[in-house]
Amino acid sequence: MSPKLFILSALLIFSPAICRTGFSQPPQNQKLKCTALIPAPVAYDTETSKISFKKAVAGLEPWQQQEAYRITVKGKKVKVEAHTAEGRFRAQTTLNQLKTWGELPQGVIFDYPRFRHRGLMIDESRSFKGVAFLKKQMDAMALLKLNVLHLHLDDSAGWRIESEAYPDLTAKTAWRYGWDYFEWEKGKYRFGIEGEPGVSGGYYTKAELKELVAYAAERFITIIPEIEMPGHSMEVGYAYNDVWCQQADGTPFTGSWDLCPGSEATFQLLEAVLEEVMDIFPGPFIHVGGDEATMKTWPLCTRCQARMHAEGFTDIKQLQGYLMRRVEAFVRAHGRRIIGWDEILETGVPEGAVVQSWRGISGGIKGSQAGHDVVLSPSTHCYLNYYQDLIRKEPPACGELVSLRFCYNYEPLAAGMVAEHILGLQGNLWCEYIPTTEHAEYMLYPRLFAIAETAWSPASAKDFFNFRERALHLQQIFRFLGYNTFDLETESELARSGFQRFEQLEESKRHENKH
Ligand code: ACM
Ligand code: ZN
């Protein structure tokens, strides 16, 4: 158990009962609603209490059985049943949360997940967070029964993972001028060297990443590393000019945000780095980005044009498909699967690739219909870097309003999706506007509670007003444990009442016009 969870358990064992909902004697007709847990469990005191645990889980999918558990509290006795260490771990996190309400409730909780992929993505490139921050968030994830940490380890704003094969990636781009992303942008994207006055940044060593992998495994969390390509990759070209497109006179297109799919140097670098990445991260998935390539230099590049000619391509986009297919084959040959942002669907990827739907849910519909497994993180509901309350009240953020209510009311399974291909969902935290770890936590909590409940609990167990009560309580616990959460007590009436996103912008504009 982590020190934090230990403190949490200790706190609760000795704390007076602070139950707000009469939880130790749940009203018979309220059952689920009275269980003060996030995520809400599948069932409380049902028929499954009367049969053996083995029988109770018999109809579940194998991955659900793996995490299923049953807790029986009778008098002072607590009995935990599970088929695996993972199931026992999930039960323990339930007990840790229950103890925060004082006395354990008498009765039976039977529980298992709705989705197998319950994730959080953290952007390390735009602002570097460090090992302690990631461990702390994994403690929170475990308490919320989240099981995937997706690390966006590189982007134009900085490379964050040690590479022995290509050491200049960190030596030349892990530090930059300007204390935050926008200062760096204003200063025209200048990188620096560690220790130079005025630079900020950092990167994870291989040893640190292995330590994080082990820490994650103890909490039944899988880390998915992301190496972004071919877009969002200016820093790679800055470190190794050969991966930038080439002009007719042989000079590189300096400052291009895309890698050159015509250059063999690009594939040599990507393959060497991916080998190092797969050596560190043992999980089944490697994220290879794929979003928002500008493709601006490709039509002008001698090597890209040669590649198009040799392959018989007629559309510039086919170069992205070519790069993705080569990388997918490489990753598959190493026994892993790629995940890519939903743009990968536009240029043809093999069936084994997982699609991460972020531009709404159409990638989830098209991807699952085409036989791809899918992770859902539509920006409209799952981007935790978007505003969580009125613009005038909040620090600058990007996007529109994703209030707690809006985030919570997201139902992942939409018409047209092939349900068996939907692996689950993720909250994403992009960090252009998030320069510090305190700010990152402020954006994560309590909205990550909502992602966790949508990902774990049955849709029928969800109820926003009941959830909000539980979130208010868990927020207090998180604050006690040292997390810098957004304060739900101060949430505006407009956000709480489920205001729509464009209305939030209008309301804020009206406010600005008045001043
Ligand atoms: C993304 O938000 N560009 C995946
Ligand atoms: Zn090129």
Please list the rounded mean pLDDT of every run of 10 residues in the chain (515 residues).
48 33 34 68 84 95 98 93 98 92 85 98 98 98 98 98 98 94 93 95 98 98 98 98 97 97 98 98 98 98 98 97 97 98 93 95 97 97 96 91 95 98 98 97 98 97 93 94 97 86 70 60
Question: Would the CB of 23 count as within 6 Å of ligand 1?
Answer: no
Q: State the number of CA atoms in the 13 A half-sphere of 276 facing the CB.
A: 18
- How far, in Å, is the centroid of ligand 1 from the Cα of 5? 33
Q: How far is the CA of 327 from the centre of ligand 1 (A)?
A: 20
Give pLDDT, residue 500. Answer: 72
Q: 292 CB under 6 A from ligand 1?
A: yes
Q: Where are the alpha helices (DSSP H) in 58-130?
A: 62-67, 85-99
Say what the pLDDT of residue 199 is.
Answer: 95
- Tell me, in angstroms, the distance from the centre of ligand 1 to residue 257's CA: 15
Strand partners, 398: 386
Measured CA to CA, the distance from residue 376 to residue 119 in angstroms comes to: 10
Question: Ligand 1 test: best mutation among 151, 257, 292, 433, most atoms within 8 Å of CB?
Answer: 292
Our CA angle for 37, 43, 46, nearest 5°, is 140
The pTM of the full predicted model, rounded to 2 decimals, is 0.93
The CA distances from residue 159 to 3, 152, 155, 245, 389, in Å, are 31, 10, 6, 20, 32
CA of 426 from ligand 1 middle (Å) equals 13
Count the Cβ atoms, other than its own, within 10 Å of residue 42.
22
Q: Given ligand 1 and candidates 291, 381, 433, 434, which is best to mutate, with the most ligand atoms within 8 Å of its CB? A: 291
Please answer whether residues 38 and 467 qualify as being in contact, where contact means their C-beta atoms are separated by less than 8 angstroms.
yes
The secondary structure of residue 16, as a DSSP letter, is P
| Residue 112, pLDDT score | 98
The pLDDT value recorded for residue 83 is 97
pLDDT (0 to 100) of residue 104: 81
Buried-exposed string 247-261: b where 16+ CB fall within 10 A, e elsewhere: eeeeebbeebbbbbb
Distance 254 CA to ligand 2 centre (A): 12
Report which ligand 1 atom has the smallest distance to the Cα of 341: 4
What pLDDT shows up at residue 21?
Answer: 32
In ligand 1, the atom with minimum distance to the C-alpha of 430 is 2
Q: Which residue is closest in CA terms to ligand 1's atom 2?
A: 358
Q: Using a 6 Å cutoff on CB, does residue 341 contact ligand 1?
A: yes
Please name the residue whose Cα sits nearest to atom 3 of ligand 1. 291
pLDDT at 34: 47
Ligand closest to CA 384: 1
Q: Are 302 and 252 in contact (CB under 8 A)?
A: no
Question: How far away, in angstroms, is 234 Cα from ligand 1 center?
Answer: 16
Distance (Å, rounded) from C-alpha 79 to C-alpha 424? 30
In this prediction, residue 464 carries a pLDDT of 94
Measured in angstroms, how far is the CA atom of residue 153 from the centroid of ligand 1?
A: 14
CB of residue 386 inside a 6 A radius of ligand 1: no
Atom of ligand 1 nearest to the CA of 379: 2
